[in-house]
Amino acid sequence: MTTLQRKTHPRTLSRFATALIAAAVMGASAQAVAQEDDPIKVGILHSLSGTMAISESTLKDTVEMLIEQQNEAGGLLGRQLEAVVVDPASNWPLFAERARELLAQEEVDVIFGNWTSVSRKAVLPVVEELNGLLFYPVQYEGEESSENVFYTGAAPNQQAIPAVEYLINEVGIERFALIGTDYVYPRTTNRILEAFLKDEHGVAEEDIMVNYTPFGHSDWQNIVSEIRRFGEEGKPTAVISTINGDANVPFYRELANQGIDAADIPVIAFSVGEQELSGIDTAPLVGHLAAWNYFMSVDTDANYDFIDAWIEHTGDEEAVTNDPMEAHYIGFNMWAEAVRKAGTTDVDAVKDAIIGVTVPNLSGGYAAMMPNHHITKPVLIGEVQDNGQFDIVWQTPSTVAGDAWSDYLPGSRDLIADWRKPMECGNFNVVNGSCGGSTAAEEAEAALAE
Amino acid sequence: MRRFLSLGLLCLVLLSTAMTAQAQSDPSTPDDQAALALLSALDVNSYRDKGEAITAILQSDDERARDWLQALLDGRLQRADDGRFVLVLDNRGRDWPVADALTKESLGDMSRRDLDRIGINNALRNQLRSAIAVVDLYSPNVERRRSSADRLLGEVDGELAETLEPVIAEAEDDHVRMRLTQAVAIYRAEQGEMAGVEALTGSLHPRARVALGRAANSDDPIVADAAAAALAGIEQQLKINRGLETLYFGLSLGSVLVLAAIGLAITFGVMGVINMAHGELMMLGAYTTWMMQQLLPGQPGLALILSIPAGFMVAALVGIAIERGVIQFLKGRPLETLLATFGISLILQQLVRTVISPLNRTVVTPEWMSGSLVINDALSLTLNRMYVLGFALVVFAGLMLIMRRTRLGLEVRAVTQNRAMARSMGIRATRVDIMTFALGSGVAGLAGVALSQLTNVGPNLGQNYIIDSFMVVVFGGVGNLWGTLVAGLSLGIINQVLEPWAGAVLAKIIVLVFIILFIQKRPRGLFPQKGRAAEG
C-alpha cells in the first residue's frame, strides 16, 4: 500500500477514491434493488430417487404447491418465492453436500427437507455451520433440539405415548408386542415405551414382546404367527408397530392372510399413513390403528380445501394427503408468518420472530411454535377403513406441545430446550443449571447409538 | 357385552313373529319416525352411547335392523347434512352414490363433504359382529349360520347357553352343530363343569385352551386334573402343528428363493455370465403384472394369469437386448460384465422411477389367492404362498424339461461344455447364447410375476433379491439346476427354523455365515459338477 501511495499522484488518488465510493454506493443501491426484485429462494431437500423417493417425492410436490399458492396470493414481503430443488438420492452423506450447496451456492433463505433421522443428523452440522433454517416434517425419536432446525413432526410424547395410553385406557389392552424395523427410531421409541409400560402401568416383562426386522423385510410368516400365539393367551393383546416404509405392505398382507382381525389383535402403527396404505387392499385391515397428528379424513373445510388443491396440483384424482404433508403446510405457513413479522428473510431475525407464531393446522385447531423449536399438535388415533382412509376414533382434548427430551429415559429426563434469549440452549440441564455442560446429552446420544 | 347378546336373542324370538305381521303393513310414517329415532341415537360422540343405541336397534322389531347394523359395521351408514340417514353404496372418489337408509331408494351421488359417517371403533365392531351373529343364527342362508356359529366361540354366557341348546339340537349343518357345541362347552368349562372339560378335550381352538386353563385352576380337584390332562394333550398336538407350520413357512420362503435364483442358475450357472441386472428383470416381470391389471380392470385373476406369459416375454426381450447390447462384447471378462450389468440395473431402476413412478404400485391379489386354507384350528396355510410354492415347482419342472428334453437344452449343454467343439459340430453358438440368456431372463420375469403377490412392486424390488439369488446358486453348485432347488428350499427352511429364537436379523446373518463356511469346505457347492462339464 505504501508503494502505491508513493507512486500515485495525489489527484489521481482522490479521483480513484471518488470512483470507489461511487461504485460502492451504486453497488449498494443495486443490491437493494436486487433484494426487492429477486425472488425469495426456498430450498427443497427431499430424495427424488432411491429408497426414500417413495415417501419424500410427495413432500417436494407439497412444498412446490405451497410456494405456488403463496405466489398467487402476492408472494411474501412483495417478493415472489422460488423453489430450488435438489436431489440427495436417499444417500445420507449426499444430504449434507446438497444442504451445503443450497446454503452456500444457491443462498436459499430456508430449507424444507429430510425424512429419515439419519439424514437429518447428516445435515445438522451443515445447517448449524452456515446458519440456515431447516423445517423437518416427520415424526421422530426426539432427543434433539437445534438452533437452526424446526421440528414440525411429532416427538414421541405427541404420538407414541398418547397412543399407548389410548390402548390401555380405552381398549383395555394388557399385552404388548413391540414390532419394529431395526434402526434408531424404532429402537429409541421402543426403549421409551418399554420404560413407560413397566414404570407407569406396571406391565410385566412376559407381557411385552419385542421384535426387530431388517429394512424392507418381506417374509413375515413366522413373526405374524408368533404374534398370533402371543395373543392367544387369554389377555387382550395389541401390536405396537414401528415398522418403517414399504415392509408394512407384506406385513399387513400376512396379517390378513393369517386371519388376524383388528378386533382380536389390533395393530397400532406410527409410520403407516395414507401413502403407505395406498399400496394395499385395506378391506382385511379395517380396524387396525394408526397414531398421527393429522389424517386425510379430518372433517374440516381447511382440510378439504387442502386436499382439493393437492389433487389439482398433482392432477391425480386418487392422490392422498398425509401427516408429514400437513407438517410442511404448518411449517411453511409459520415461516411465512415469521418472515412477515420480522419484515425480512434474514435467518437470525426469522429465528427470533418464529417462536410463539401460531398458525391454523388442518384439523381445525392451531399450531404454535414452542421455544424448543417443536410445535403443538393434537394427537389423533385412527382406524383403517376399507377405502384406505382412517376413521378418527379418539383424539387428545387439546393440543400437546412437543417435548424434545423424553421424560422416560434416564439421561434425557433432566434436559430442556429453550431458544429464547437469554437461555438460548438446546440441552439445558435443570438439575445443575448448565447448558450442555452435563454428560446428559452424550448419554442420550449413546442411548440412541445403542 | 354378553348381556346385550342375550337380550338381543330374546328379542329375536319376538322379532321373528313381529316380522311376519309387519311385512303385511305398509311402511307407515310413525314406523319410519321410530326408525329415525333409533338411528339418530347412533349419531352421538360417545362410543358408549352408540353401543346402547346398537342394542336398542337390535331390540327393535324393525326388519331393516340387520341391514343397518351391517352398514354401520362397514362404515356405510352416514348422515347427510339435511339430517337424513343414507347408505353409501360406494365410497371411492369424492362423490359417492347413496341410498336412503329407511326407504332404500337411490338418492344419486352426494359429495363427501355433505356426509358424516357414523364412526365406530373396535369395541363396537366386536359388539356389532356378535349382534349380527346372533341374528344370523336363524338365517336361512347356511353360510351366514356357519360364520355366526364361528363367531359365537368364547362369546357365550349362561343365558345364551340355555338359548343355544335347542338351536344345537335342531341344527341341520354339521359345522354349525359342532361349533355351537364347542361354544357352549367353552362356557361350561370356564364355569368349572366337568362336561365342558370333557367336550373340549382335543380341541385346538385358542379359546378352548384359555377355558381349559381356567378350569385347571378350578377348586374341584377332579375337574382341575381332567383339564390339566386335556391341556397337556392339546399342547402335544400344538407342537406337531407348529412343526408343520414352520416346515410350510420354510418351504414357502424356499420357493421364493428358488424362483428368484433359478433364472440366475441358467445365466450365471450355465452361461457363466454375472448378471447384476437379474433382480431388475424380476422387477420388470412384477411391473408387467401391474400393467396387465391396469389393462384389465376388475379382473385381477385373469390379468395375473395372462401376466405369466407376458412377464416372461417382457423380461426375455429385455434380456436379449442386454445380451446383444452389452454382454456379448464382454465375453470372458467377468469383472467388466459385473460392472456393466450393475450399471444396467441402476438404469432400469431409474427408468421405472421416471417413466412410471417412484411410488410402489398396487398389485391386487385375486380373491382365490387371499386368505388361508384351514387345516385345523391351530394350523392354516396361507393360500398366496401355496400358489407361489406350486408355481415355483412348475417353473422348475418346465426348465428341467427344456434343458433335458429339447434341442435347445442339448445345444446349451453342448456349448457350455466345450464351445469350440460345439461350434465345429455346426451349433450356432451365438444363437444359443441369445436363447439361453433370454430363457434365464424370462424365468426372472416369471419370478417377478409371483413376487408381485408377496411383496411390494416398486423400483427397488430387484435389489432385495439379487444377493439371495447369488447365494442360492453358489450354495447349490454352479451350473446345477437340482442344486438350486435343494439349496433354495433348504436355506428357506433353515432360515424359518432359526427365526423364532434368533430373530429375523440374526437368522439372516447365521445363514450367511453358514454358507461362507460351507463354501470354504466345498467350494463347488452342494452338487458340484463332475466330469467334463466341470471347468479346470
> Per-residue pLDDT averaged across A193-220, rounded?
90
Alpha-carbon radius of gyration of chain A: 25
Residues B120 and B260 in one domain: no
Mutate to test the interface with B, among A61, A257, A285 (most CBs of B within 10 A): A257
Nearest beta carbon to residue B464 from set A218, A233, A234:
A218
Q: In the 3-class helix/strand/coil scheme, how is B99-111 assigned residue by residue?
A: EECCCCCEEEEEE
CA A385, CA A393: separation in Å to the nearest integer? 12
Cβ within 8 Å, pair A53-B358: yes
Q: In the 3-class helix/strand/coil scheme, how is A69-94 assigned residue by residue?
A: HHHHCCCECCECEEEEEECCCCCHHH
Residues of B in contact with A257 (CB under 8 A): 370-372, 382-385
Q: Which of B169-183, B341-355, B512-526 has the lowest mean pLDDT?
A: B169-183
> How many contacts does A have with B, using Cβ atoms within 8 A?
138
Mean pLDDT value across chain A:
86
Nearest beta carbon to residue B360 from set A48, A246, A258:
A246
Cβ within 8 Å, pair B365-A281: yes
Q: Note the pLDDT of residue B27.
A: 45
Mutate to test the interface with B, among A57, A222, A252 (most CBs of B within 10 A): A222
State the smallest CA–CA distance between residue B509 and chain A in angstroms. 11
Cβ within 8 Å, pair A221-B385: yes
Q: Note the pLDDT of residue A14.
A: 53
Tell whether B140 is covered by a domain.
Answer: no
CA B418, CA B433: separation in Å to the nearest integer? 13
Residues of B in contact with A182 (CB under 8 A): 505
> Per-residue pLDDT averaged across A164-184, rounded?
91
Question: Cis omega before residue A422 (within 30°)?
Answer: yes
Q: Is the per-residue pLDDT at A4 higher than 70?
A: no
Cβ within 8 Å, pair A284-B508: no
Residues of A in contact with B91 (CB under 8 A): 385-387
Tell whether B226 is covered by a domain.
Answer: no
Q: Note the pLDDT of residue A279.
A: 65
Q: Note the pLDDT of residue B85.
A: 87
Cβ within 8 Å, pair A278-B362: yes
Cβ within 8 Å, pair A57-B358: yes
pLDDT band at residue B157 under the 50/70/90 scheme: confident
Enumerate long-range contacts of A6-12, CB under 8 Å, 24 or more apart.
none
Alpha-helical regions (H) of B273-406: 278-295, 300-325, 334-355, 383-405
Mutate to test the interface with A, among B360, B365, B388, B501 (most CBs of A within 10 A): B360
Q: Note the pLDDT of residue A17.
A: 53
Q: In the structure grid, which three cell numbers stand for residue B214, read together?
A: 381356567
Q: Is the per-residue pLDDT at A373 higher than 90?
A: yes
Total Cβ atoms within 10 A of residue B309: 14
Tell whether B529 is covered by a domain.
Answer: yes
Question: Cβ contacts of residue B162 below 8 Å, gap of 6+?
Answer: none
Please check whether residue B473 is in contact with residue B268, taking contact to mean a CB–CB distance below 8 angstroms: yes
Q: What is the pLDDT of residues A240-258, one digit of tens each?
A: 999 887 788 889 889 988 8
The owner of cell 423437518 is A136
Cβ within 8 Å, pair A246-B458: yes
Cβ within 8 Å, pair B382-A225: no
Tell whether B138 is covered by a domain.
Answer: no
Cβ within 8 Å, pair B361-A279: yes
State the smallest CA–CA distance between residue B361 and chain A in angstroms. 6
- Total domains in chain B come to 2
Mutate to test the interface with B, among A175, A253, A255 (most CBs of B within 10 A): A253
Q: What is the pLDDT of residues B402-458, one digit of tens each?
A: 999 999 999 988 888 888 888 999 999 889 999 999 999 999 999 999 999 988 888
Residues of A in contact with B210 (CB under 8 A): 232-234
Q: Which amino acid is at B336?
A: E
Q: What is the pLDDT of residues A259-318, one digit of tens each?
A: 888 888 999 999 888 888 876 778 778 889 999 999 999 989 999 999 999 999 999 888
Q: In the structure grid, which three cell numbers stand for residue A434, read together?
A: 448448565
For residue B366, what is the nearest residue in chain A, using CA coordinates? A281
Residues of B in contact with A258 (CB under 8 A): 372, 380, 382
Region for A357 from its dihedrals, namely left if φ exceeds 0, alpha if ψ lies in -120 to 50, beta otherwise: beta
Domain boundary (B65, B99, B126) is at: B126
Residues of A in contact with B389 (CB under 8 A): none
Residue B342: which CATH number? 1.10.3470
State the smallest CA–CA distance between residue A279 and chain B in angstroms. 5
Residues of A in contact with B355 (CB under 8 A): none
Nearest beta carbon to residue A234 from set B213, B383, B495:
B213
Cβ within 8 Å, pair A279-B362: yes
Cβ within 8 Å, pair B125-A57: no
Cβ within 8 Å, pair B122-A287: yes
Residues of B in contact with A280 (CB under 8 A): 362
Could you tell me which residues are beta bridge partners of residue A41? A82
Q: Note the pLDDT of residue B536.
A: 40
In degrees and rounded to multiples of 5, residue B182 shows phi and psi of -60, -45
Cβ within 8 Å, pair B504-A214: yes
Domain boundary (B126, B148, B163) is at: B126
pLDDT band at residue B165 under the 50/70/90 scheme: confident
Q: What is the pLDDT of residues A411-431, one digit of tens each?
A: 788 888 999 888 888 888 888
Residues of B in contact with A174 (CB under 8 A): none
Q: Which of A257-271, A310-324, B18-32, B141-155 has the lowest mean pLDDT?
A: B18-32
State the smallest CA–CA distance between residue B432 and chain A in angstroms. 36
Residues B317 and B451 in one domain: yes
DSSP code of residue A39: P
Tell whether B181 is covered by a domain.
Answer: no
CA B185, CA B192: separation in Å to the nearest integer? 10
Tell whether B429 is covered by a domain.
Answer: yes
Q: Which of A105-109, A267-271, A386-390, B288-292 has the lowest mean pLDDT?
A: A386-390
Find the length of chain A: 450
State the smallest CA–CA distance between residue B410 and chain A in angstroms. 37
Which helix (H) or strand (E) segment is B117 a member of? strand B115-117
For residue B462, what is the nearest residue in chain A, using CA coordinates? A216
Q: Note the pLDDT of residue B90.
A: 81
Q: Identify the domain containing residue B100 by its residue range.
A: 2-19+27-126
Residues of A in contact with B372 (CB under 8 A): 257-259
Residues of A in contact with B464 (CB under 8 A): 216, 218
Residues of A in contact with B368 (CB under 8 A): none
Cβ within 8 Å, pair B456-A246: yes
Q: Is the per-residue pLDDT at B218 higher than 50?
A: yes
Tell whether B230 is covered by a domain.
Answer: no
State the smallest CA–CA distance between residue B435 and chain A in angstroms. 32
DSSP code of residue B322: H
pLDDT above 90 covers a percentage of chain A that reads 56
Tell whether B177 is covered by a domain.
Answer: no
> Per-residue pLDDT averaged across A306-335, rounded?
94
Q: In the structure grid, which three cell numbers stand for residue B119, read together?
A: 364412526
Domain boundary (B104, B126, B148) is at: B126
Nearest beta carbon to residue A387 from set B91, B383, B456:
B91
Residues of B in contact with A49 (CB under 8 A): 350, 353, 358
State the smallest CA–CA distance between residue A230 and chain B in angstroms. 11
CA A286, CA A261: separation in Å to the nearest integer? 8
